Amino acid sequence: PPVQVKSAPARVMPGRDMDGKKIRNMEQFAAVSGISRPTLSKYFNDPSSVKASTRIRIEEALERYDYRPNIFAMNQNRRMTKNIGIVVPYLADPFFAEIARSIERRCIEAGYWPILFSSHGEMQMEINILDSLQLLRPAGVLLAPLGRRSDRKAVEDFCYDSPTVLFDSDIADVGEAFIGSNNPQSIGMMVEYLCRTGEPPCFFEMKTPVNPNARKRHLAYISAMEGLGYEPMLVQVEGDSWEFEQIGFDGGARVIGERSLPSSTVLCSNDRLAIGLLAAAYEKGLRVGRGSGSALRIAGHDDHPQARFTCPPLTTVSQDYAAIAKRSVETLFCLIESGGRAKVRETTLFDGNLVMRLSA
């Protein structure tokens, strides 16, 4: 039973306006500020749309009376709200947390109101979020879909009503644009590096990946290996949740225990799997690294925030979070300005960079 302590709550009266009376609506603010309500309305929708001198008068009054328009009344009547929906598949993954942070900031700076949702890896949750989001009549939506688990029809229908830019995971022909990473390039580069510096890598992945990137990386690995004249070697582990570390750990412990790893170099489909695999290798007493005393080289993909703090630090491919966020937001803003429909669906893929650390 938890500890409980009770105390008298403090009641603080926050500062009110000069006259002590709270202004309830734009009408009253118009009265005290000496500006007509329609002009105020114009100002709040775009401060630069009124003459500089009146703008100053309004802002002076605003300081004295601290009034703020009712957001529900605004959104109800506006042709278009300032809402921007941000939907990510799994917020407990720092990759998405980071990219969401970056997107949020940019939206706020542009005068929009970002609202963040996480599907928590569940299809039904994603559907519910899209349903809710529609009620908010967003000016635009940045959607990183679940991927394999997404209900294509639901996402399609959603995109019909709300201007949507997809990022991270693509769903073919859905949404007005896609921004992601160039998996063939990044995997190709990593495979080339690993082959050049040691034994050619096997590919460590989930048997039923939750994410289309995983499939693309799978194909990219095979084609890269074949391009270099090597036989692809796949290690597929069980698991279909978003707990990648656990999946990597369990699967890794099994293949290491069975001694069924086809190569002493392992390229993981993503960093979180690699972190799990590192833990499994540690448990099994296998030394990981590119030094001579090591039994295993492990590489990842994404340059996850945690990747530099693993033991040994993880060699990986960096995704440019900031660039993906920036481009996604810019694309959405263009879309919104052009009325919400794109003439062509643009797909933008960013190259990754090799991040050499000690694990491979």
Partner DNA sequence: GCTTTTTGTTGACGCGCGTAAAAAAATATT
Partner DNA sequence: AATATTTTTTTACGCGCGTCAACAAAAAGC
Q: Using CB under 7 A, which residues numbered 76 to 115 contact DNA?
A: 76-79
Residues 170 and 216: their CA atoms lie apart, in Å, by 11
Q: Which of 24, 152, 287, 308 binds DNA (CB under 7 A)?
A: 24
- Hey, what are 178's tokens? 């896609």
Contact segment (CB under 7 A) with DNA among 3-11, 21-29, 115-123, 239-247 equals 21-29
Q: Which neighbouring-strand residues pair with 237? A: 206
Q: Residues 41 to 70: which contact DNA by CB under 7 A?
A: 41-42, 44-45, 50-51, 53-55, 69-70
Q: Is 74 in the site for DNA (CB under 7 A)?
A: yes
Q: How far is the CB of 112 from DNA (least distance, A)?
A: 15
Contact letters for a copy of itself, residues 133-172 (x by CB under 8 A): --xxx------------------xx-xxx-----------
Residues within window 284-343 making contact with a copy of itself, judged by CB under 8 A: 305-306, 308-313, 323, 327, 341-343
Q: Does 9 bind a copy of itself (CB under 8 A)?
A: yes
Q: Which does 145 bind (CB under 5 to 8 A by kind): DNA, a copy of itself, none?
A: none
Rounded Cα distance between 77 and 46, Å, is 15
Give me 4's structure tokens.
Answer: 């409980």
Q: Which of 60, 69, 56 is nearest to 23 (CA)?
A: 69
Tell me the window of 74-82, 156-164, 172-180, 188-196 that interacts with DNA (CB under 7 A): 74-82
| Angle between the N-to-C axes of helices 52-65 and 37-45, in degrees from 0 to 180, rounded to the nearest 10 | 90
Distance in Å, CB of 10 to a copy of itself, minimum: 4
Nearer to a copy of itself among residue 25 and residue 51 (C-beta): 25
Q: How far is CA 212 from CA 106, 172, 349, in A?
A: 27, 10, 14
Q: What are phi and psi of 245, to 5 degrees?
A: -60, -45
Nearest alpha carbon to residue 99 among 317, 309, 316, 303: 303
User: Which residues in 254-283 contact a copy of itself (CB under 8 A)?
Assistant: 275-276, 278-279, 282-283
For 306, residues 6+ apart whose C-beta sits below 8 A from its C-beta are: 94, 271, 275
Closer by beta carbon to a copy of itself, 34 or else 111: 111
Q: Taking CB within 5 to 8 Å according to partner kind, which of a copy of itself, DNA, none is near residue 308? A: a copy of itself
Distance CA 56, CA 59 (A): 5
Site membership for a copy of itself, residue 354 (CB under 8 A):
no
Residue 143 parent element (H or E): strand 140-143
Binding DNA (rule: CB under 7 A), the pick from 17, 19, 27, 60 is: 27
> With respect to a copy of itself, which residue has the nearer C-beta, 235 or 278?
278
360 burial via Cβ count (<10 Å: 0-12, 13-18, 19+): buried
How many CA atoms within 13 Å lie on the side-chain side of 273? 28
Which of the residues 89 through 118 are near a copy of itself (CB under 8 A)? Answer: 91-92, 94, 97-98, 100-101, 104-105, 108, 113, 115-118
List of residues contacting DNA (CB under 7 A): 24-27, 34-42, 44-45, 50-51, 53-55, 69-70, 73-74, 76-79
